[in-house]
Amino acid sequence: MPNPFTFGSPVLPASLHGRRRELRRLVGRILNQGQSSALVGEPRTGKTSLLNYLMSPATCAELYGDADCKILFCYFDALTLGAQFSPAKFWERALEPVREIAAKDSPLAEALRTCHLEKYGNFVLERLFARLQEAAGLS
């Protein structure tokens, strides 16, 4: 068998090999109330390939089962954010997928507008997350 590991760009989800333990741990955390995880490692160790696998529409049903339609991903490289990147700008960018699915006059859209106006303070973010749980039928 040829070496499945390549140097350079991240591998396609179909070509990811040898990460079952890491995938099991990350998927378990995602499915357990959306727990946070940090993926840390040296450059070129497969972090982006692993994230692409977790986000791939081709693997969602296999990884997340019935919950796959309720999971939104937003990927961006923190190294590209720059020194002037504020917490408000982080949340603006991280919540783009939510903005894309929120119906125009829904409570979720209203919570997003309030977060933007209030510069993503803790209290309004907490309300937004409650609205997300309601929209997903988790509350």
2 and 62 belong to one structural domain: yes
- pTM above threshold 0.85: no
43 and 105 belong to one structural domain: no
Q: Which structural domain, as residue segments, surrounds residue 42?
A: 1-71
58 and 119 belong to one structural domain: no
- Predicted local confidence at residue 44, as pLDDT: 83
pLDDT per position as a tens digit, 106-122: 999 999 999 999 999 99
- Predicted local confidence at residue 3, as pLDDT: 59
pLDDT per position as a tens digit, 65-114: 988 778 889 888 777 778 888 899 899 999 999 999 999 999 999 999 99
CA atoms of 41 and 130, how far apart (whole Å): 32
138 and 110 belong to one structural domain: yes
Q: Which of 71, 88, 117 is the last residue of a domain?
A: 71
Number of domains within the chain: 2
Q: Which of 33, 52, 71 is the last residue of a domain?
A: 71
